[in-house]
Structure 1
Amino acid sequence: MERDGYVVLENFLRGNECDELKSAGLELTKQIPDVAERSIFSTKETSKTQLVDQYFLESNDKIRVFFEADAVDENGDLKVDPSVSLNKVGHALHLLDPIFRCYTYSDRVKTVCRELGFIEPAVVQSMYIYKNPGIGGVVEPHQDITYLYTEPIPPVGFWIALEDATIQNGCLWIAPGSHKSGVHRRLQRNPDKDSKETLVYDKPACVYPQSSFSPVAVSKGTCILLHGNVVHKSAPNKSSASRHAYTFHVVEKHGNTFAPDNWIQEGENAPFVNVYTTSQME
C-alpha cells in the first residue's frame, strides 16, 4: 500500500460467498423505482445529474439505485431488461441490508483494518457495482479522497470482485505511486445556497497520461485495497461478461477529520460506527 497505493488480497471471499453477494445484488434490480424517481449515475464531467439530484445527495442513509446512461431513454423508460439496467446501488448497504452488513463487518474486514493500523475505523459508504455487459459505463480517473475528504489520514477503499475482472469486461486500472502526489481536487457541498448546483468541484478535472495506468485484472473473490489518494479508473464494458463488485470505504475517526462539506455525511439510519465493535447482524 505504501509503495504503490494499493494491495491485492487474493481469495478474500470464497466462491460461494461471492455468489451470495451477487444474488443479493441481482435481487436489488427487482426493486427499481418508478420512472419519475430514476437517476442516472455518471462520473463523466459532462453529466451533472448527480450534482443537482437530491435523490443522489440523500442516499447517505438509504439504499438507492442508479442507472446506466445507456439503459434509460430521455423519458426515463428502460431500453434494456431491468436485470442489466443498473450502474450501481448505494450508499448504506453496509448497514441496511443484512447480507451486505454481514460481509462488511466480518472478522476478515476487522483483521485488515487492524493490519492497516486503524484505531477507530468506520465505513462511510458502500456500493454494489454492476458493470453490465455491453453497456457498463466508463469510470473516469479519480481519487476517492476527492469525494471522501479526510485529514490527515486518507480513506481506504475495499473493492471486492464478485466475478473475474478482466481487461475485456472493465477491470480497474491504477496509477501506481500516484497516492504520493497529494489531493488533486475535491467535490464539495456548494456554499452558494442560491446556486442550482448542490455540489461543486474546487478545481478542473485532471488530465492523466494513459501510460501511468496499469490494468489490475483479478479473479473472483479478490479484494483490492485502495489508498484514498491513488488515481484509478475503469474502461467501459463492451464484452458479453458482467463484472460485478462490492465496494465500501473506511475512514479513521480517531484523531482524524471527516470534512463537513463532503457530499456524504452521517445519517440517522447510517451513522459512522466503529468497525471493530459493530456486529454482523443488527
Structure 2
Amino acid sequence: MLTQAQRETYQNQGYLVLPDFLTPALCARLRAAAAAQVAAFEPGDHVSVFSTQADKQDRDQYFLDSATRIHFFFEEEAFDAAGRPTVPKNQAINKIGHALHYLDPDFKTLSDDPRLFEIAAALAYREPKLLQSMYIFKQPGIGGEVTCHQDSTFLYTEPHSVMGFWFALEDATLENGCLWALPGHHRGPLKSRYIRKPEGGTGFITYDDTPWPQEGLVPLPVSEGTLVLLHGSLPHLSYANRSPKSRHAYAVHMIDGACRYPAENWLQPE
C-alpha cells in the first residue's frame, strides 16, 4: 500500500496524507450511519460532556465503559450555565466512542478494510490490532478545541506502537477545525500518560509539563475521503470550529499486539 517515499515521509514527519482513500459515496454512508446512531440515542438523566482540558479528564464510569460500547459525548458549549441544551441533539454531540469499529456494521467494514492492515505491514507491524474508534462531529459554531496531545498518552504500549487512521468524512479546512501537527516531534519522548488510578478514577502521569511549541505547527487541511496516518507520538491538535460548517471525521487506532499493553491504561478492551 505504501511506496518507499511514503514510508519515509511517515517515518520522518510522523504523519502521512493519503487523498481519495474513501469514495464520496462511502463517506456519505458513514455520515448517515453516525446520524442514525445519534437519532437512536436517548441520553436520559446522564449527560457526558467531552473535554480535552487536563483538569476535566477524571472521567466517570460511562466514559470508561465506552471502551467496549458505543457511547455519546456532548460538546461543552451545547448547554447553558443552567445545564439546559442550547442546540438540538444532532448538533450537540461532540463524538461517539469507542467501539464503533466492531459494534457498528458500517464502521466495522471500513475498519476491517485490508488496506489498513497492508499499511501496517508496510510499517513493520507484526500483530496489528484495532483498539478503539470514534466518530468526531466538530459541530458548526460550537465544535470544541482538541488541545495538543500524543495518542500514545492515552493508548500506551511498550514499546510505543499506536497509529491513528483519521478519515475525513467532510472537507477539513482552516475554518472548520482541521488537524494541525508538529512534524518530526514524534521522535521526542512521551510527555504524559493517562491511566486508571489505583484508588479509582483516571488521571495523568506527567513526565514533562512544558507547553508544546507553537512555532513549527503545520495545518493539515484535507478534502473529503482523505486518510491521514498519525504516529502515536506525534503532537497534534485541532482548534475550535466557529464556522457554520461541520467537520465530520472517523478515527480508528491500531496497536501492535506483539507489544505490552498495560493493565493501567484507561481503555481496557474485552
Q: Displaced runs of 4+ in structure 1, greater than 4 A?
A: none
Q: Say whether the 8 Å CA contact 2:169–2:225 is kept in structure 1.
A: yes
Cα distance, 1:52–1:83 mapped onto 2, change above 3 Å: closer
Q: 2:52 aligns with which of 40, 43, 51?
A: 43
Q: Say whether the 8 Å CA contact 2:152–2:160 is kept in structure 1.
A: no
Pair 1:25-2:34 in alignment: yes
Cα distance, 1:123–1:84 mapped onto 2, change above 3 Å: same
The alignment's TM-score, normalised by the length of structure 1, stands at 0.89
Letter matched to residue 257 of structure 1: R
CA positional deviation for 1:75 = 5.6
Letter matched to residue 128 of structure 2: P
Q: 2:254 aligns with which of 239, 250, 255?
A: 250
Pair 1:200-2:197 in alignment: no
Q: 2:72 aligns with which of 61, 65, 72?
A: 65
- Aligned-partner Cα distance in 1 for 2:42–2:210: 34
3-state SS of 1:46 partner: helix
Q: 2:86 aligns with which of 79, 85, 88?
A: 79
- Any gaps of 5 or more consecutive residues in structure 2? 1-9
CA positional deviation for 1:172 = 0.3
- Any gaps of 5 or more consecutive residues in structure 1? 268-282
CA positional deviation for 1:171 = 0.2
- Aligned-partner Cα distance in 2 for 1:235–1:35: 30
Q: Say whether the 8 Å CA contact 1:36–1:76 is kept in structure 2.
A: no
Pair 1:121-2:128 in alignment: yes
Cα distance, 1:210–1:226 mapped onto 2, change above 3 Å: same
- Aligned-partner Cα distance in 1 for 2:95–2:103: 16
Question: What RMSD, in angstroms, separates the aligned Cα atoms of the two structures?
Answer: 1.4
- Aligned-partner Cα distance in 2 for 1:34–1:127: 18
Q: 2:266 aligns with which of 251, 263, 278?
A: 263
CA positional deviation for 1:206 = 4.1
Cα distance, 1:122–1:20 mapped onto 2, change above 3 Å: same
Pair 1:215-2:219 in alignment: yes
Q: Which residue of 1 aligns with 2:106?
A: 99
- Aligned-partner Cα distance in 2 for 1:190–1:27: 35
CA positional deviation for 1:240 = 0.8
- Aligned-partner Cα distance in 2 for 1:75–1:27: 29
Q: Which residue of 2 aligns with 1:135?
A: 142
Letter matched to residue 224 of structure 1: V
CA positional deviation for 1:205 = 4.7
Q: Say whether the 8 Å CA contact 1:124–1:250 is kept in structure 2.
A: yes
Pair 1:112-2:112 in alignment: no
Q: Say whether the 8 Å CA contact 1:35–1:77 is kept in structure 2.
A: no
Letter matched to residue 222 of structure 2: V
Q: Say whether the 8 Å CA contact 2:142–2:241 is kept in structure 1.
A: yes
Cα distance, 1:134–1:19 mapped onto 2, change above 3 Å: same
Q: Say whether the 8 Å CA contact 1:4–1:176 is kept in structure 2.
A: yes
- Aligned-partner Cα distance in 2 for 1:61–1:77: 29
- Aligned-partner Cα distance in 2 for 1:76–1:61: 28
CA positional deviation for 1:188 = 1.1
Q: 2:233 aligns with which of 229, 235, 243?
A: 229
3-state SS of 2:115 partner: helix
Q: For residues 179-238 of structure 1, give each alpha carbon's deviation from its aligned partner in whole angstroms, at most 9, with x where no partner exists.
A: 001111111111234xxxx11111175411211311011111001100000000000000
- Aligned-partner Cα distance in 1 for 2:62–2:160: 29
CA positional deviation for 1:76 = 4.8
